[in-house]
Structure 1
């Protein structure tokens, strides 16, 4: 399982060095508030995350790892309640609740029906400027235990490249931006900003939720 928050774009930055992390486990959560996300099939059993920092305050980003609730996690911690990401475009503005441990989403609503965590704003203003681009490699061709992928972005585009044999129930939501799926889909619900249905045998699960930005599900060439 993957949960990611992302904003599209990039900055000219001296912090172009790539960081590599490996996370093992049947359920993995990856949390990042700003940056481009690319997810593709991998060969090994571990989930591999290649991270490239950017923005003038990128050195202040903190990467934390460890088990939280039912999964192993990698979390990019932003030490600010307002994150400047000007390449989103003029008037781009996203807010979402982020917990103290850097996680968000996961349909975690409190007893009173309120989302837990502090409010974080991501827009084209503010004093703190940073992002982290993520390239995530995860094994998707599981014969006996279909994989579960959950990509949750606060605002930004997501591109997933999956094997041609991949099968899953699919739920895609985007606040704005298009949806492009390079697989035949048995759709139960479809619109410009949402898609629910099944790919292939439907044995796995795939959920993608973006506050804004496009979603592309690509088929890997055999």
Structure 2
């Protein structure tokens, strides 16, 4: 069963059947408590800010906006094994002014108000737009997540942020910027369009954006995985077992990296990687763009570098087995690791830090 408690304005409504009560929220807000180890929140339009909670339940404070705000409904309950809160929009056209007049996002929403959670099929087409005809309503959320909860947030359109949370988080938005900092736990960020900024994460980090830049720093993880359809990627102070960056178009800059496995793939764009420790495997592939890799003095690896057009510069001794202007195969140091660099066009530089 779902545990949910709602208060509105300064009044406190006790739900006797559940035996719960919330402290009064700020005027104009509604407050809900959702108890459970796995919790998901769904909202088509509006901002959301996630912080660490001190209680045992997830607390969601809802502030409605827009001329049709009173037509929104908030429902709670268990759906597919998760305790949920869903903001229900009773129209297939939603007007969210913060998007901007010409912006629009389309997605499929099920009758229960869920969407975008990996479950295929079902749901009616809903368009969220910045202006025009439709339900003029949105809901801004403030969410407190207690330690150890597996929490997912799904938003159609709006900016998301999370800070100082000790829980596994999923932040999923159709269109909007995402910022997260001070996260202890697995962090998954998925945005159809919009920039992503992440700081100080201890736990696996997975970022997927259709379009938009990605900026990450201060990550301690087993796995760091960044995928963007278009947009540059910048990373600093990254420590993990495996680092993978894949971008359809956009430059990649990675500094102060400590990971035995590093993979970078970009359709077009320059790549700049600074390694602070030896690697077991480094693979860089770019369709067009220069590649610069800075490595420590004690690097040891079998090396193969190939460029369709552009020279190859090596800043330290290499035991060369085959060499030409555009192709080098050889060994550095003890040769225990593997380095493969391939660019369709662009110069390749391998230099000591």
> Same-fold call, TM > 0.5?
yes
**Is there any run of 5+ residues in structure 1 with no aligned partner, and where?**
1-15, 110-114, 204-222
- Which protein has greater RCO, CA pairs closer than 8 Å, 6+ apart? 1
The secondary structure found in structure 2 opposite 1:91 is coil
Deviation at 1:188, TM superposition (A): 7.9
Structure 2: distance between partners of 1:32 and 1:92? 18
Structure 2: distance between partners of 1:125 and 1:132? 18
The secondary structure found in structure 1 opposite 2:186 is strand
Which of these residues, 120, 124, 132, is aligned with residue 118 of structure 1?
A: 124
Write the deviation string for residues 142-184 of structure 1: whole angstroms up to 9, x where unpaired: 4xxxx42323322221100124874333332323322111216
Deviation at 1:196, TM superposition (A): 9.8
Q: Is the 8 A contact 2:40 2:153 kept in 1?
A: no
| The 10-residue stretch of structure 1 (49-58 or 153-162) with the greater mean CA deviation from structure 2 | 153-162
Match of 1:138 in 2: 145
Q: How does 1:21-170 map to 2 (within 5 A)?
A: 21-109=32-120, 115-123=121-129, 124-140=131-147, 142=148, 147-163=149-165, 166-170=183-187
Structure 1: distance between partners of 2:132 and 2:81? 36
Q: Is the 8 A contact 1:52 1:132 kept in 2?
A: yes
Count of residue pairs the alignment pairs up: 178
| The 10-residue stretch of structure 1 (161-170 or 19-28) with the greater mean CA deviation from structure 2 | 161-170
Q: Under a length normalisation based on structure 2, what TM-score does the superposition of the two structures give?
A: 0.45
Q: Under a length normalisation based on structure 1, what TM-score does the superposition of the two structures give?
A: 0.70
Structure 1: distance between partners of 2:47 and 2:118? 22
Structure 2: distance between partners of 1:190 and 1:102? 23
Q: Is the 8 A contact 1:57 1:130 kept in 2?
A: yes
The secondary structure found in structure 2 opposite 1:32 is strand
Write the deviation string for residues 25-49 of structure 1: whole angstroms up to 9, x where unpaired: 1111111111110110010010001
The secondary structure found in structure 2 opposite 1:79 is coil
Structure 2: distance between partners of 1:126 and 1:67? 33
Structure 2: distance between partners of 1:176 and 1:163? 24
Q: Is the 8 A contact 1:189 1:197 kept in 2?
A: no
Q: Label 1:117 to 1:160 Cα distance change in 2 as closer, same or farther (>3 A).
A: same
Q: Label 1:196 to 1:71 Cα distance change in 2 as closer, same or farther (>3 A).
A: farther
Structure 2: distance between partners of 1:173 and 1:193? 12
The secondary structure found in structure 2 opposite 1:154 is strand
Match of 1:181 in 2: 198
Q: Is the 8 A contact 1:167 1:202 kept in 2?
A: no
